[in-house]
Structure 1
Amino acid sequence: MRRRLIQSTLAVVLVVIAVFGVSLVIVESRTISNSAQERVDSEAVRLVGIVDSRLLGHEDVTTEILRDQVTQNRHAVITVPGRAPIEIGTAPHGDVITATEKGEGGETVVVQEPRSTVTREVGRTLLIIGLVALLAVVAAVLLAIRQANRLASPLTDLAETAERLGSGDPRPRHKRYGVPELDRVADVLDSSAERIGRMLTAERRLAADASHQLRTPLTALSMRLEEITLTDDPDTVKEEATIALTQVERLTDVVERLLTNARDPRTGSAVSFELDEVIQQQLAEWRPAYRSAGRAIVSSGKRHLRAVGTPGAVAQVLAALIENSLMHGGGTVALRTRVTGNQAVIEVTDEGPGVPADLGARIFERTISGRNSTGIGLAVARDLAEADGGRLEMLQAQPAVFGLFLSRTPPAKRSAQDQEPTVR
C-alpha cells in the first residue's frame, strides 16, 4: 500500500510538472526572445536620436563619440549620406537579432546582437525551472512517504488488533490516529474487544461457579450411591435412592440457575416456602460429611417460618455456608432461625477460630479465601441471595456467624386492572 500511494502521488506530480513546466518553458522562451528584440530596437532608436541631434547641431558624428553609446557585445553600423559608414563593435557570426532605424537626416542605424545571449538566458531559465521541478518531486516523494506511513501504519495496527481479537486477547488498545475513518474502525474494534472481554469473563465466571456449585452435590450424590452399593436392605436402598433423586433435582436446578446467571423475583421464580424443609434437607445431605470429619451439624431457633425466595437458591446459599464451615471452621455447626422485622434470618455459625482480621468484609469478594480454596463460594452465595431479593452478611467474625436475610412478604401480584391493556 505504501508503494502504491507513493507511486500514485509521484505520478500526479510528474503530470503536473510536465503540463505546467512545458508551458512555462515555452512562455519564458518567447518572453526572453521578445525582450532581447525590444532591447535591440530600443538601442537602435536611441542611436538614431543621438545622430539626429548632432547632425541638426552641425556637430561631428564619429566613432569615438558613438562607441560609448553602444552596449557591449553588440554591433552597430551608422550610415550617414555623403559620409563613410561608421561601424562599432565586432560583427557577430551565426544567428543574430537585428534592428534597423532611419533618422530625419536620412541616416540609417543597424544594431545587431548574437542570438547566443538569448540562448544562454533561456538555458539559465530552464535550469531554474528544472531545479524547482526537482525540488517539487523530492517534496512530493517525502510528503507521499509521510502520508503513506500515516495511512498504512494505522491499518497495520488495526490488523494486529483484529488478529489479537481472533486469537482470544480482547484487550482494547484505545489508540486513535487523527483520521476520522480509521478512528471509526478503531472505535468499533475497541467496542468489540470490550464485548468479547465481557463475554469471556462471563464464561470463565460461569465455568468457575459451575465447578464450585456442582462439586458438593456431586460428592453427596456419590456418597448416596455408595451407600446403595454397600447395602442389601431394600428399604435402605429405596430411602437412599429417594434422597439421590432429590439431589439430582438439586443438580438440575443448579445448572439451570448457572445458565440463566440472573434472576428477578418479579418474574415469578420467587415463592413463599417453608424454611424448615430446606434446612432439614441440608442437614440430611451434610451429616455424613460432618460425621466423617468427627463433627456435628444441628439446627435450632424458630420453627415453621415461611420466607419468600427460590428454595433451590436458598439451598445453594446454605450449602455454601455449611461447606465453608466444614472447610474453615471447627466444632459443631449450628443453623439458627429467627425473625427480625419483616425478615426471616438463617444464621450459620461454628466453634472455629473465625474469619481472619485481614480478610474482614473482603470475604465475599471472588478469589478471596482463607485457605487454598477457590474463593468463590461465598461470592456466589451472596449473588444468589441478592438475586432472590435477600442479602447475605457476615454478622460476626470470631467465631464466624453468617446471616441469610429473606423477606417474609409474598411478592405483590398485579391487579386485573394493571394486567388489562387500556383501551382508548
Structure 2
Amino acid sequence: MRQRVVRVAITAVLVALILLAIPLALAVRSTLYADQRDTLERAALAAAVRVNPDYATGDPVELPPPGAGERLGLYDPKLILRTGTGPRTGDAAVSQALGAVVARDQTAGQLVVAVPVSHNEQVIGVVRASSAVSVVRDRVLLGWAALLGAAVLALTVAVLVARRQARALAAPLEALSRHSRAVTEGDLTARAEPSAIAEIDQVARAHNDMLHSLSELLRHERDFTANASHQLRTPLTGLQLTLEAGLAQDDTRLRPALEEALAATRRLHHTVEEVLRLAGSPGLPHRVTPDRPVAQLLEETDERWHGLFAQDGRRLDCGSQDAPADVRVPGGPVAEILGVLLDNARMHGHGSVRVTVRDLDDALAFDVTDEGGLRTEPGRLFARGHTGGGGTGIGLALARDLAVSLGGRLFLASGDPTTFTLFVPVRQDEGAVSAR
C-alpha cells in the first residue's frame, strides 16, 4: 500500500507540473524575447530624438552608446548607413520603418527593431537597433533551468510528503493485518489499536466489536457444552452405581435387563466424555490412546446394534476382511462414529447393513454399507443441521468432527449403494493411533 500511495502522489504531482511547466516555459520564452525587443525599441527611440534634421547635409549625428551586445545605426531614406553600426544597406525592417511605423523583425540570427525619424510629418531617416538572438536564447535557457530546478524541488518535496503520508496510512492497516493474523492463529483476546485516521479507526472498532461478539458466542457455546457434559456425568455415575448395586442382588430375572441398561449407561458416559473432549479442541487432531482391539470393537458393535436391526426385519453383518484382529484403536471415538453411521443407515437406508474393516498398512478403513441409495446432495451430507428427514442433522457432522480429532477422515465413498468410509490412522509397531 505504501508504494501505491507514493505512486499516486508522484503521478498527481507530475501531471500538475507538466500542465503548469509547459505553458510557463513558453510564457518565459515569449516574455524574454518581448523584453529584449522592448529594450531595443527604447534604445532606437532614444537615438531617434538625437537625430538632427540637417544630418543629410553633413551635420554630424551623435547616437547614444548601445547596450551590451546591441548595435545602433542611422539610415537615410535611400537605405544607406550614415552613422553607427549595422549592415551597410538597410534590411527589410528599415524599409518597413520608412513607412512611418515601428518595425520588428528577426533575421540572420538577429533581433531587429527599426524606428522612423520624422520631421515636418515626413520620414527623414530610420534608426535601427539590433542584438544577437543567442543572448536572449541563453537567458531563456537560464529561465528554463530555474523552472526545472523548481519542478525537481517540488517533486522531491512531494515524494517526501507522500512517503510520510503513506506511512501514516499504512501503519494502522498493517497493525490491523497483524491483529487479524493473531486472531486467525487462535488469539481471540487480540484487539486492534486506535490510530489517527478516523476511517481506519471505524473499521478497527467494528472489527473489535465483531471479535468480542464472536468470542462471547464461542465462550457461551463451550461453557454450555462443558456444563451440560458435567451435569450429565453426575446423574450417569449415580445411575451406573445403582445398576451395579442391582446386579449385586443376584436377581436372575432382572439381571439381563440390568446388564443391558448398565452397558447403555456406560456407552452414554463415554459419549459425554467424547463430546466434552471434542468441545475442548474443536477441529484439532490430537493423540488418543488406542485401547480396544478391532475384533472386540466389531463384536461390541454387533451386540449393540444387531437387535435393533432385527426388530426392523433387517440384517447386520460385522466382519474384518484382512485387518489384524489384535490391532488396537481408540474404542470410544470409533464406536461413537460407527454408532452414528449405523443409526443413519437404520433411519435412512434399506436392506442389509455391512460393517467391514480393511487394512491399509498405516490406517484402517471402516466401511458401513447398506442397500439403499443416496437421497440427498453429497455436498450437504456433513452440513450441521441438514437432514434428509426424521433427524436433527447433527450426527454426521459430529462423526466427521470426531474423525478429524483422531487425525482420521470420514467421507461418502459411494452413493449407490450408500457407503461411508472411516479412515483411522494406526501405528502397529506401537499399537497406537497418532494425530497426523
Band of TM-score, shorter chain: 0.3 to 0.5
Larger helix fraction of residues: 1
- Give the alignment's TM-score, normalised by structure 2: 0.46
